[in-house]
Every structure is written in C-alpha cells, then in structure tokens.
Amino acid sequence: MESLEIIVLVLTFAILLSAGVPISFSIGISTLITMLLSIHTLPSLTTVAQRMATGIDSFALLAIPFFILAGQLMNSGGIARRLIDFAKILVGKLPGGLAFVNIMAAMLFGAISGSAVAAASAIGGFMTPVMLKEGYDRGFSAAVNITSATTGMIIPPSNILIVYSLASGGVSIAALFLAGYIPGILLGISLMVVAGIYAKKNKYKVTINFTIGDAIKKFFDALPSLLLIIIVIGGIVAGYFTATEASAIAVLYAFILSVFIYREIKFKDLPAILLNSASTTAVVMLLVATSMAMSWVMAYENIPQNVAAALISLSDNKFVILIIINVILLVVGTFMDMTPAVLIFTPIFLPVAIQLGINPIHFGIVMVMNLSIGLCTPPVGSVLFVGCSVAELPITTVIKPLIPMFIAMMITLLAVTYFPELSMFIPKLFGY
C-alpha cells in the first residue's frame, strides 16, 4: 500500500505540473490526494492545512519578506547603476570588459539583494543596451546576464540558504552564509573565463576608459551600497543580530540609502514597491507551505528512508553517491523552482549525506549551487525568462551561447562538490 501512495504522489504531481498548473498548487493538490488515499477520511484535509500552517510558522522565515523588500528597494533605488560603475573600475579594462562588468556587477548586486531575478532584471536592464551599442552579440549578452545573476543565490545574504536551513532542521544560517563566498566567487570567475575567451575570439575591444579621479568618485558613490554587505553579514557573524534581524536592518538601510541619500525613490513610489514585495512574498510563502506539507507526507510514507537505503545499496562511496545526487538535482532543477526543490529534496538527500560523513553546511552549498543551474534552463527557469525578456530574445536564440556558460557552471559545481574545503574554509575560520 505504501508503494501505491508513493506512486500516486509522484504521478499526480507530474501530471499537474505538465498540465501547466502552478507548482505550488501542483504540490498542494498531489499532497492532498495522497493524504486522502492514506488516511481515507476527511480529517486528512485538516492535516494538510495544519502542516502548511506549521511549515511557515518559523522565526527564520521572517527574513525572507524583509530581504525581498530590501531587494525591491535596491532594484529601484539606483544601487544597480552605481555597482555597475564600480565594477567598471575593477574589471572594465580587461578583454571583453563589458561582459566582465556584467558578471562582477551581478555578483555585487546579488551579494546585496540575494535575488537572482532582481539581478538579471536590474543589471541586465543597464548592461544589455550598452553591450549592444559596443557591438556585443545580443545572445551572448543575454547568456552572460542570465548565468551571472545566479551567483546571488550563493553569495550571501541568500533567501534560499535560509530555506535550506529550515529544511535541514536548523543548520546555522551564519555558517551557510560564510560558506557561500568562495563557491560564489569561483562561479563568477569561471563565467569570466568563458566570457574572456568568447571576447578574444570575437575580437571585442576594450572601450572603457576612466581617470583616477573618476575611479575614486565611482568608488565613493558605490561605497554606501557595499557597506550593506559588511553591516548584514558582519553583524550576523559577530553575533550582534540574527539573520532575521539583519534582514530588517537591510530594509531600513536600503530605504535610507534609496530615499534620502541617492534620492532615486520618491515617497509616492513606495506603495508600488511594497505591493510588489508582498506579492513576491506571498508566492514564496505558498511554495514553502505546500512543500513542507509534501515533505511531511513523504516522511509519513518513509520515502527518505527508502531513498537513502536505495542509494547506499548502489555504493558506499560518497563520491559516487554525490554524483548521483547531483545528476538527480540537475534534472529536478529543469522543471522545479529552487524553493520547493530545496524543501522537498533536503529531507531526502541530507540523511544520506550525513551518513556518508558529508558536512550539512557543505551539502547545502552543493545543493543550492546545483539548483541554481536550473534557474537558467527551460522549461521553468525564472532567470532565463527574465534575461530573455530584458534582451528581447526568444529562448531558442539564447541556448547556444548559454552552453559554454553551463559547462563552466558544471565544472565549478564538481569542484565545490569534491573539494569540501572550498565551502568549509571560511566557516571553520569562525568556528563552525
């Protein structure tokens, strides 16, 4: 009977998803059908509702709406433009400088906003017209913007790392934030290598010039934005406040910066920003609620234990198991958003990782980096759609220039997977 319920859960979810039903509703409906089959009574409706409510009853999750609001303020408050100007100083004179600027600016913006979609929209909106004006291929420009935006999922603060902390049963958010720095920077460097090769092959010229005076001015213009990273992450690591409290401080800082210092947001703009933030938060929280209900059903049906036993029976070599998990997650990432994927698959795969001696912090970074690739792939890659919309291109045109970027992301993923020190070095320095 247990196997029948597992089949029903997977099959109904797949059918609903392929029929175009929104993923949160697909998860919720398939969970409800499975519960009705398992318990056979109407109280299963109450059980699903309770699990959804308790799933989002978490202090840590309060950080998500705050970081979303902070990201919206940054997106509208001129921060992206100042970070692009700062990135030009750092990498603008390298071969293929504008592509490098796009990647560096996305890394900086992601490190402040924690949103890949916001980075693709804000940075791509500024950089795409400039790159086209300088003769860069439109498809290549879109590919650079799309892939570099995912660095914001790994470089802290990152909403998805907060979600992983919840799904894992309480892995330290501060440790996860610290663990994301080196992998995120490596991912950005790998994309720069591909961009540099492409630029050299197509003989893109260096067109960015500035004086020392300009460089100093751009640095001080961007400095207030960059200070947010130090305030948020430094405060968490030093123990002055929790990740949730840090998110509220990020909102206050972004508000002061955008409204009173940069003066690019007027008070009349705030209702629209608040409405967009509330709408995005509602979508995320519904995903979290339904995913937590599905996770409970899977635990009730012993799915994590069965999957763990099946994986261990294949091999007791952690390197083999990790490659199998990575392959599964890469497939999952092509049709499932990151939030439900983390909430559903963390309880399944994390026990296997722990049994093989893999640190939960390291495994979280591997999982998030893996699923970040899915943000750039059809059919549900949200960053892919935003990047194509910004570049005014169909997805089919962008796929070819995306392939070398995907290869770079895969290589970085494998490096982080099999060299745990890349993610664990900084947390260990701080005693995690």
What is the per-residue pLDDT across 410-420, written as a single tens digit (0 to 9) for each? Answer: 999 999 999 99
Domain positions in the chain are 59-265+302-429
Q: How far apart are CA 396 and CA 166, in angstroms?
A: 36
Tens digit of each residue's pLDDT (9 = 90 or more) over 195-216: 989 888 888 776 677 788 888 8
User: Which helix (H) or strand (E) is 254 found in, with range?
Assistant: helix 243-255
Q: How far apart are CA 78 and CA 257, in angstroms?
A: 9
Amino acid (one-letter) located at 379: P
For residue 61, the 8-state DSSP code is: G
Determine the pLDDT at residue 42. Answer: 57
Determine the pLDDT at residue 2. Answer: 56
Radius of gyration of the chain (CA): 22
Which stretches of the chain drop beneath a pLDDT of 70? 1-3, 39-44, 113-114, 206-207, 380
Determine the pLDDT at residue 346. Answer: 92
Is-contact 85 105, C-beta < 8 A? no
Q: Token pair for residue 330?
A: 């890469």
Determine the pLDDT at residue 273. Answer: 92
Residues listed for the chain: 432
Q: Token pair for residue 362?
A: 């390291």
Determine the pLDDT at residue 40. Answer: 59
Is-contact 224 261, C-beta < 8 A? yes
Please choose, from the candidates 363, 381, 376, the residue with its C-alpha nearest in 3D space to the C-alpha of residue 408. 376
